[in-house]
Chain A
Amino acid sequence: MHPAGGPIPDKPVLHVRVHNKTYTRAGAGAQVVVLDNIEFALHAGETLAIIGPSGCGKSTLLRIIAGLDKHYDGVIARPQPGRLSMVFQEPRLLAWRDVETNIRLVAPGISAAALADLLQALGLNEHARSFPGELSLGLARRVAIARAFAVAPQLLLLDEPFVSLDEALVRKLRAELAALVAKHAMTTLLVTHDLLDAVALADQLLVLSPRPARILEVIRLDRSNPMLVADLRRKIADRLAENVSLVAAP
């Protein structure tokens, strides 16, 4: 994110300008506007969280950014193919390949040491030879995260990487992911409906409205401030009074 009016830094890793995105509702054929005038930039080393209520269009935005959805009105400048990686809302592993092969298939050039490091950082060292069907959802999510880091991307996209895990596990995984992002100084775009995810991982926060998603607020995060989460909750609640789920206590 580049605050308006500041000095012009180098070319951003990601520049998003989506004027609008509509889906055609099946059957009725009616147009549903999902994204409305979303514009932001992300520079090397920055971490940005996009927070918004469920169903507001976060996954849609991320799919557009990843180049998976080309039917939108706007312009996106993103890294070259293969220099961008993504952790989807579901792990999306190849069930017929073991954990290590799942990672190597997207990152054939990864060194044994780098792979071992990654597995170690995510607590996967004992599971390198396991098949995804033998893993819990939490472990499968870790594999998806390891795979995304293995390609050493210029940009990492994360779509609610902790959704439907229990709270204790989420806290652990959040910390592991935050440590990895920091260690690699990874340029990261995280999409979530949970403020705690955002606070743990990002230094900037972009608040989206309910569908159609518009940018309501851009907030610079300071993770050293202990009052932050409560303050943020209130601040976002003010901007988003009609959406209770977004600011519900954990």
Chain B
Amino acid sequence: MTRLLSLLSLVLAWQIGAHFAGAQLLPSPLVVAGVFWRETVSGNMPRQLMITLARVAIAFGIAMVLGSLLGVAMGRSRWLDRIADPWVVVLLNLPALVIIVLAYIWAGLTETAAISAVALNKLPNAAVTLREGARALDPGLDEMAEVFAMPFGRRVRHVILPQLAPYLAAATRTGLSLVWKIVLVVELLGRSNGVGFELGTAFQLFDVPTIMAYGLVFVAVMLLVETFLVQPFETYASRWRPNSR
């Protein structure tokens, strides 16, 4: 209820701001809604949105899988940690834009370069989070699984992954918000479709209503992903905790 009021006040402030700033700089909510309707009916917005979401999903998936594996391995092996840590630190602090531009220069303006650049931006973040998780693994449970000769797969699924779940959820949460922002930049700089490309085109035409329509729809989609994918996963992963049931 409070959230709804807060949202309404935002729309109202927007309307008032639009009145003073003029339609050129800040179009009114109604104008933006019109653009949204037009783009949706023409099918362009859903299409661009799907393209961008697919890139988000693929890059995110690659970064999460590789980053998590690397992070867990680093958390378990002091030797590997010492070797890989400088790489991770460099990647972590390299501006996203530098990675993107270099990827396009080295691999051309290709889909592979775009996805790799996004994944490479997220990977060290996942690695660092999961390294923490691996360090926090209970050695007592490890010994238990060892004594009872639990097969590897069962050990991963029932002993290790449940302990890593909070860290995976944290990496997912920060990862999604990071990845979808970077995907837009990658599309703006080197792709000829997707939401980022549309935003770039609209920028060149100073088409503020289109920029706002795409931006808002993107926010809405990410909120849906958060509400219907990330949060249910977190609830599921922590269902055994006495205080959360």
Interface residues of A in 89-141 (CB under 8 A from B): 90, 92, 94-97, 101, 105-106, 131, 133-134
Distance to closest chain B CB from A144 (angstroms): 9
Does B242 belong to the interface (CB within 8 Å)? yes
A95 interface neighbour in B146, B149, B240, Cβ under 8 Å: B240
Query: Among the interface residues A66, A81, A95, A134, which one has the most CB atoms of the partner chain B within 10 A?
Result: A95
Chain A residues whose C-beta falls within 8 Å of the C-beta of B147 in the assembled complex: 66-68, 84-86
Does B144 belong to the interface (CB within 8 Å)? yes
A82 interface neighbour in B149, B159, B241, B242, Cβ under 8 Å: B149
Query: Among the interface residues B162, B240, B241, B242, which one has the most CB atoms of the partner chain A within 10 A?
Result: B240
Does A18 belong to the interface (CB within 8 Å)? no
- CA–CA, A95 to B238, complex, Å? 10
- CA–CA, A96 to B237, complex, Å? 9
Distance to closest chain A CB from B163 (angstroms): 8
A97 close to B141 (CB less than 8 A): no
B141 close to A85 (CB less than 8 A): no
* Interface of chain A, main secondary structure: loop
- Number of B residues whose C-beta is below 8 Å from A? 16
A82 close to B140 (CB less than 8 A): no
Residues of B at the A interface (CB closer than 8 Å) are 140-141, 143-144, 146-150, 154, 158-159, 162, 240-242
* 17 residue pairs A–B, Cβ–Cβ below 8 Å: A63-B143, A68-B146, A81-B149, A82-B149, A84-B147, A86-B147, A88-B140, A88-B144, A92-B141, A92-B144, A94-B158, A94-B159, A95-B240, A97-B158, A105-B154, A105-B158, A133-B242
